[in-house]
Structure 1
Amino acid sequence: MTGASGFLGSHLVDHCARAGHHVRALVRPQSDTTRLHGTPSVEPAYGDLGDAESMRQAVEGVDVVLHSAARVVDHGTRAQFWDTNVDGTRRLLDAAGMAGVRRFVFVSSPSAVMRPDEGDRYDIDESVPYPDRWLNLYSETKAVAEQLVRAANRPGFTTCALRPRGIWGPRDHSGFLPKLLAKMLDGRLPDLSGGKRVLVSLCHCDNAVAACLRAADAPAERIGGNAYFIADAERTDLWAFLARVAELFGGRPPTRRVPAPVLHTAVRATELLWRLPPLAARHEPPLSRYSMALLTRSGTYDTGAAARDLGYAPVVSQETGLGQLADWVESVGGVRAFVRSATLHT
């Protein structure tokens, strides 16, 4: 398993361990492995996606690879994104294939098929083709990596890709929800909806985990070489959801609206400034076409293929998930502890 010390990866580790599996977790030497050492049947393997030898050692004797590690930020150079998301996935695929791994499950993203100039899209299914241009390097490199994974499928080595959208839930300190909540706590998030309902699919972490575990066991002849959208059961009114999260954690719901021309000018200016290498490599931009697309475009996903081929069904409702999140936030010291990493990057 890659990404085991991260948000989704930590939940995957716990669920696999509880199900009685032995888990070998590829983690970087500098990662916080406290949870891994405290979890029975989990074996840390130190290395990273840039070190082919460490990956060869990590996959030796493994039946299934769950690959969730990636560079997911909205900043960085092409070389940084390509080395982690594309070449890192290629190295892991090669190592797994040579070691006799039988199943390779790649955690991808719907961003792989997002187009720069598209508008609202509802109930998208897997027939949507890859674009020839992307909104950012993250989207591009996830698309390229996903295609590598799908193309590697062969008898005895089953590969597939899962595309969960907007993963949220306990243990997330730096994803989209804590980042937006950090701004709402300080009254810095304007309403960017343009006065319309922005309908989106989100994916609770437990639902993403359920899909990964289903993909690890589903019949090879059904899933080999395929990609699947994964989402919660609910179609979410994004800005109403954010207002509810703000209310739940003591923030200020977005009310101040920014005129579209002003917003577009600010995005263009920011992206021009972020072409400077020192900024692009180290700092996340306050605005980007990608982040604006996620906040202003409707995008919902049809999970019928995942239900048919994987037997996927959401295991956590949005209402239950919000309750779990509130309990966890209290257990870690309150809302400021929840958003601490997000605050450092906004």
Structure 2
Amino acid sequence: MNIKNKTILITGIDEFIGLRAAELAIVQGMKVRGLQKDNRENSQNLGAEIIVGSLTDPPIAQKACQGVDIVLHTAQITQEAGSLKDFREINVIGTANIAKAAKNAGVKTFVHLSSVLVYGFNYPENITESGQLCGEDNPYCQTKIEAEAEILPLNTPPDFGVIIIRAGDVYGPGSIPWIVRPILMMRQKLFAYANDGKGVINHVYIDNLIDAIFLAIEKETYGEIFNITDGQETSWKDYFIRLAAMEGLPTPMSLPKDEMKLFLKLRHQGQKLFRKKADVLPESVDFMSRPHVYSVAKAQILLDYKPKINFEEGMQRTQEWLQKTEIQKLI
């Protein structure tokens, strides 16, 4: 498929991934429509048509999908913990609702942004897309698995094609979990990494992720699932030391994983007592201590996926963004 002049609907267009996807889609010559849940201003200057409403509202979903060639579904709840009911409402029911609306509207291609977290926290080295899925009794992991199961049966090419992208740890300008939140914690001298920073952050620079999505659309890889990372093996320790150095901050300390979880649990209880929003949840430690790399061989073979922006350049771009952004306003 030639994506130039095609109309793409991006759900969650006001969020980190959706916003950058919209910018790069416009550069590629696409017409962009966005769906967002409220009137946030950061998407208003894109030159895209913006629809405000809920993913779970069928009339809104139907309106958003009319006259669209491609849907890129990025909207989701991405917290590390919370109410399973709330996660299901958006991540599963909302996903199914927008996918069915797209199919009914005659949309050709539906791309669902999933996550490598569908494999859980303890998975084999170089796990592939056919590897075992594990919900880990975690609402994010569980509902990303359920969402995939909801939409894959809708795949009926050439009329309606579904593609699933299991993204790694997406970083870059605007990334809350991997840039903004850890830096804010470091500035308060409250950040530590677990177990000497062993294990691997499967980072993917935001533009590399969007490139992979566009490749999957162009190659019409319907019914396929792809792990997408930068394909580099960077330890958690190396990543967080680099992040601190970028800000001129002291090297973070390491704590045993169980101690970190206990500290964050007590801190969270204190914040609840004073009716403060939790800045870091205890479950985040599980997300920041995963052990192995995920295989991206399938994307390399079927999509000819080659990350254009390496880790050095990605961090340099992020540093330039940090120097001109008041990140505390993003939380």
Same fold (TM over 0.5): yes
Q: Say which SS state the counterpart of residue 71 (structure 1) adopts.
A: coil
2:123 corresponds to 1:125: no
Counterpart selection for 2:330 from 321, 341, 345:
341
Distance across 2 between alignment mates of 1:262 and 1:331: 35
Residues in 2 aligned to 1:165 and 1:325: alpha-carbon distance in whole angstroms? 17
Once the two structures are superposed, residues 32-72 of structure 1 have per-residue CA deviations (whole angstroms, 9 ceiling, x without a partner) of 2x4x44233x2112222121101101100111000000011
User: How many Å separate the matches in 2 of 1:186 and 1:196?
Assistant: 20
1:166-218 CA-to-partner distances (Å, cap 9, x unmatched) read 1110133x2232111111112111242x2363223111100111111112221
Verify: 1:165 aligned to 2:168, yes or no. Answer: yes
Which segments of structure 1 move beyond 6 Å, counting only runs of 4 or more?
267-271
SS of match in other structure, 1:183? helix
Tell me what 2:117 maps to: 111
1:237-294 CA-to-partner distances (Å, cap 9, x unmatched) read 2211211111111222212x434553455577789x69xxx89x994474434x2222
Question: Is 1:77–2:94 an aligned residue pair?
Answer: no
2:16: which partner in 1? Answer: 7
Q: Is 1:19 matched up with 2:28? A: yes
> Does the 8 A contact of 1:122 with 1:300 survive in 2?
yes
Distance 1:64 1:30, change over 3 A: same
What is the aligned partner in structure 2 of residue 188 from structure 1? 190
Deviations 1:134-176 (A, max 9, x none): 241011111100122222111211101101111110133x223
State how 1:46-65 maps to structure 2 within 5 Å.
Answer: 46-65=52-71
Structure 1: which amino acid aligns with 2:255?
A: V
Q: Which residue of 1 aligns with 2:5?
A: none
231-240 vs 138-147, which deviates more?
231-240
Aligned residue in 2 for 1:258:
255
2:46 is the counterpart of 1:39? yes
CA distance in 2, matches of 1:31, 1:288: 29
Mapped contact 2:196–2:237 kept (Cα < 8 A): no
What corresponds to 1:226 in structure 2? 224
Give 2:74's aligned amino acid: S
Are 1:288 and 2:288 matched, yes or no? no
Q: Which amino acid is the alignment partner of residue 209 of structure 2?
A: A
The superposition leaves residues 8-39 of structure 1 with CA deviations (integer Å, 9 ceiling, x where unpaired) of 1111001111111111111223322x4x4423
Asked if 1 retains the 8 angstrom alpha-carbon contact of 2:155 and 2:223, the reply is: yes
- What count of residue pairs does the alignment treat as equivalent? 319
Unaligned stretches of 5+ in structure 2?
Answer: 1-9
Match of 1:86 in 2: 92
Partner of 2:246: 248
Residues 259 and 217 of structure 1: CA distance in aligned 2, closer, same or farther (over 3 Å): closer
Q: What letter is aligned with 2:238? A: A
TM-score by length of 2: 0.88
Deviations 1:63-104 (A, max 9, x none): 100000001112432221111000000100110010010100
Q: Identity, % of aligned pairs?
A: 24
Q: Structure 2: how far apart are the matches of 1:308 and 1:341?
A: 37
TM-score if structure 1 supplies the norm length? 0.85
Q: Could you tell me how far apart the structure 2 residues matched to 1:107 and 1:282 are?
A: 31
- Partner SS, residue 53 of structure 1: helix
Q: Aligned partners of 1:27, 1:125: CA distance in 2, in Å? A: 32
Q: Which moved more, 1:7-16 or 1:301-310?
A: 301-310
Unaligned regions of 5+ residues in structure 1, if any? none
Q: Secondary structure at the match of 2:95?
A: helix
Q: What is the CA deviation profile of residues 206-241 of structure 1, one whole-angstrom value per residue up to 9, with x for unaligned ones?
A: 01111111122213xxx3222110001321122112
Going from structure 1 to structure 2, the CA distance change for 1:10 and 1:242 (only over 3 Å counts) comes to same
Q: 1:251 to 1:217 in 2, by over 3 A?
A: same
What is the alpha-carbon distance in structure 2 between the residues aligned to residue 142 and residue 263 of structure 1? Answer: 26
| Displacement of 1:307 | 1.7
Could you tell me how far apart the structure 1 residues matched to 2:290 and 2:163 are? 27
Using CA pairs under 8 Å that are at least 6 residues apart, name the structure with larger relative contact order, 1 or 2: 1
